[in-house]
Structure formats: C-alpha cells, structure tokens
Amino acid sequence: MDNIKNKSLLSILCEPGEHALAIDNPADGSVVGYIPWQSEAEIDQCINKSCLAQKLWQKRPAKERSCLMYRWYERVMDNQADLARLMTLEQGKPLAEAMGEVAYGASFIQWFAEEGKRAYGTTIPGHTGDRRLMTIKQPVGVAAAITPWNFPIAMITRKAAPALAAGCSFIVKPANQTPLCAYAILELARQAGMPEDVLQVVVHHSPEQVGDLFTHHPVIRKLSFTGSTRVGRRLIAQSAETIKNTSMELGGDAPFIVFDDADIVQAVQGALASKFRNAGQTCVCANRFYVHDAIYDQFVSQFTEAVKSLKVGSGLEDGVQIGPLIDVQAKERIFRTINLAVEQGATIVTGGKPLDGCFVEPTVLTDVQHSMSFLREELFGPVAPIMRFTNDEELLEQANDTIYGLAAYFYSRDISRIWQVAEALDYGMVGINEGIISTELAPFGGVKQSGFGREGGQEGLEAYLETKYLCFGGIQ
C-alpha cells in the first residue's frame, strides 16, 4: 500500500476488529487491509437516504449531472495508476490488465455522461383530432446493484454511470473480496462533487443479508446484478415480491470456433486473449474450443507454444500475464475439473500442475469430447479444452448445447458462413475474428440463463429509465 500515492483512496481502511472485513492479497495471502462493514440497520438507513437524495438528483438538469460525471471520469483517470495498483493487490490481475480495467471502467462514466443528455422521448401521431400524444423518459428511482470480484471497478461503473446519468440514485454492494476499489472510486466521485447520498457503497459480512434487504425493500425500484447464475436465480425469485425491475448479467460458457478457412495466426492470438485474460476468470472467457479437423493439429501446436510462453506470477511483477486465481477454493475447483477431464479421457498437453498459493499453470487439454460432463460448467480459470469437428451443422448444435448464452467467438474468412454462423449462435454477443469484444459503446449482455438486460451502448441507459406516456386531450 506504500506505493499508493493518493492516500485519500484508502480513507475507508480501519483497524482489525469484530466489525472489520479483512481483504486478502491472492498473490501471497497477506492482508491488504481491513474495512468496516455496516449493520443491517445502517444499510437500511443508506437505502432511505438514497431515496431522499434521488428526489433532488432527478430534478438537476441532465447537463448538470453530466458535468459532475465528467469531473468524476477525470478524477478516475488522474488516479489510474493508484487504482490499478489497488486492484492488483486485492484482486490479483496483472498491473497492465488492471490499468486497462480502470480505463474501461472510466469509459462508462464518460459515455453515459453524454448519453444522459439524450434520454429523448417521442411524439406520436394522434388517433383522434383533439388529442396529442407523447412520451417522456424518467428515472426508475433508487437503483441498487450487487457486483462480482473479477472486474472490481468496471462492473460497478457499467451500472452506476447509466443510473446516475438517468437521474437515479445508486447504491452498490461490491464483492467482499474486492471492496477497496469500490470505495476508492466512491471517494473520487465525492471529490468530483457528487452529492453524498446519490452514490453509496455498502458492505456486510453476509451477502445474503444484503440481497434480502435490496430485494425486499420497497424503496428500491431497480436491482442490477452481475455474478453467478445460481445467485441471480435466487435474486430474481426474491425480487418477485416487490415486482422489482431487474437486470441480470450472469454466467457464460463461451464456445470459440475455428473454421478451416480461418487465419490461424489471428485465431491463436484471439484465443489467447479471450481465454487467459484475468487468468480465465471472466464471464466472456472462451470456455470450449472447437477446431476444424483440417487445421486442428496446426492450431493446437501454435496455441500450445503460445500458452507455454505465458508468464505466471504476482500481478505486480513486470511482464506477468497470468496472476493468481481469486482464492484457494477457486484453485482447488480448477484442479477438480482438470482431474475429472483426465478421468474422462482428456490429455494434458501443457500445464495442469499445481503451483504455490492461488496460482495455476495455464493448461491446454486435447482429446476432449463435447459429451464430457466437465464441460457443462463455467471453468473460470486458465484451462483451454480443445475439440475437433468436421461438420458445421453438428458443430452449431454443440456450440448452442448449453444453458448459457452470453458470448461466442468464431474465426472464418467466408462471408456467407460468417453471416450464417453469427445468426445461428444463440448468444447475446458474438466475436467474429475477434477475441476481445467488450466496449462501453456496445450493448453487453446475454440470453438464456446468462441473464437479461444490456449494459453499455444506447441500451445501457434504457435500463434505468421508465417511459411515461402523456395524452393531451381537448385540443380544438
């Protein structure tokens, strides 16, 4: 923490104690720091304060909200290096990736600072001569969010920025493993002049309790969740009682397909980026590779060579590309999966050996069949299972044979095939000859049990707006 220059980013830190949560560094198991967690009564108070703040916030002109958000964006970017270091300490990702995430997270603040000024309504041709019809857009109200540890800043700003731009107040429960980044960006919002209760962070030792409070509280009108399908399912059920507007960004099981006409060098680069970013711990990570028989050997040999050269280590070390997994449980889960894969007939081509602490060697598995049960789950680690295919129709059936539908990727140079496959893949997002697809400019989200709702793009703002229809009568 000595290398964090702006000490105000650490103002939340406290002494260890009964009401303090310890934040561990996954690279070496040391405690990064302690932060206080709130009681349920305190969280309830935060929600009520959020409600009062929202009433004033929505009255501020969109342009004024936008100016505040721009100042917040600038503060985040001015502190990019400190925020990235904090992220690497609590989350483990390599510093270069953390720098990228800070910029990516900030880009949502910038984008929605603009989009908030464009929350246009419509005028509608009337159905009788004496009436005039129109719609206006209004904020949903108090918005709450629950976010995961794998993108400790971007998963918050992707929700907070559109909410604030729309005129909602926003209250977030970050993952208990990565709350320091959440408090740091909150501090920067305060420094930028964001009214205190409009944007709040709450932390409690029990995520279930916060989930209960958020879903049952009548004042909260919107709940946006990013995390596992298991928890999302539970939150949807709990939200039914208050008929809450919900958005769900859930798990993924991305197929990565390489057709026989693909540019293999490009495909290998895309596969590396898609699979190994954040040590394989992203919802859009390639989970299963399907490579055409005609180029299978070539792809596997080039990909394996590239995987062998990936540098594993603490995210703060120069040149490291694969940091630790988030905790020891995640590492144990990955090794259970690798062992199961081998029992079912898969071959380890590289990696597969446990390293110290939370580290896992990047691993490539071949002799994998689509029917193997280990493939039914999100791997969420640096393991790449590769299958062979010969028939496009069969391949598409297998690619879509999953409960998930977040992201899919394929490589081909045939324009007819590209359109046909892009349309046939049952996923919310498709990368075509590209392994990294996320940007604030485009709608991010899934279908099937990967959730519903979109974040980023024009659609991201809509998630925090209601459409009100106005009918003017008696016009002679």
Which residues are catalytic, by number? Answer: 249, 283
How far is Cα 220 from Cα 243, in angstroms, rounded to an integer? 10
* H or E element, residue 8: none
Query: Which residue lies nearer to ligand NAP by CB, 116 or 381?
Result: 381
Which among 356, 386, 350, 393 has a CA at the least distance from the CA of 368?
A: 386
145 makes contact with ligand NAP (CB under 6 A)? no
Q: What angle do CA 83, 84, 85 make, to 5 degrees?
A: 90
Query: Which residue lies nearer to ligand NAP by CB, 67 or 330?
Result: 330
DSSP string, 16-70: SSTTEEEEE-TTT--EEEEEE---HHHHHHHHHHHHHHHHHHTTS-HHHHHHHHH
Q: For residue 240, give every residue at least 6 positions away whose Cβ sits within 8 Å of its Cβ, in sequence order, or none.
A: none
> Of these, 176, 200, 321, 398, which contacts ligand NAP (CB under 6 A)?
176
Residues 361-420 binding ligand NAP (CB under 6 A) are 378, 406
175 makes contact with ligand NAP (CB under 6 A)? yes
154 makes contact with ligand NAP (CB under 6 A)? no
Contact status, residue 88 vs residue 95, Cβ threshold 8 Å: yes
How far is Cα 395 from Cα 197, in angstroms, rounded to an integer? 51
Output the smallest distance, CB 453 to ligand NAP, in A. 10
Query: Which residue lies nearer to ligand NAP by CB, 248 or 300?
Result: 248
Other Cβ atoms less than 10 A from the Cβ of 243: the count is 8
Contact status, residue 186 vs residue 199, Cβ threshold 8 Å: yes
Output the smallest distance, CB 334 to ligand NAP, in A. 13
Query: Which residue lies nearer to ligand NAP by CB, 173 or 292?
Result: 173
Output the smallest distance, CB 154 to ligand NAP, in A. 9
207 makes contact with ligand NAP (CB under 6 A)? yes
Residues 240-259 binding ligand NAP (CB under 6 A) are 249-252
Of the candidate spans 1-9, 163-171, 208-216, 254-262, the one that interacts with ligand NAP by CB under 6 A turns out to be 208-216
Tell me, by CB under 6 A, how many residues bind ligand NAP.
27
Residues 277-336 binding ligand NAP (CB under 6 A) are 283
84 makes contact with ligand NAP (CB under 6 A)? no
Phi, psi of 378 (to 5 degrees): -65, 125
Catalog residues that contact ligand NAP under the rule CB under 6 A. Answer: 146-150, 155, 173, 175-177, 207-208, 210-211, 226-228, 231, 234, 249-252, 283, 378, 406, 446
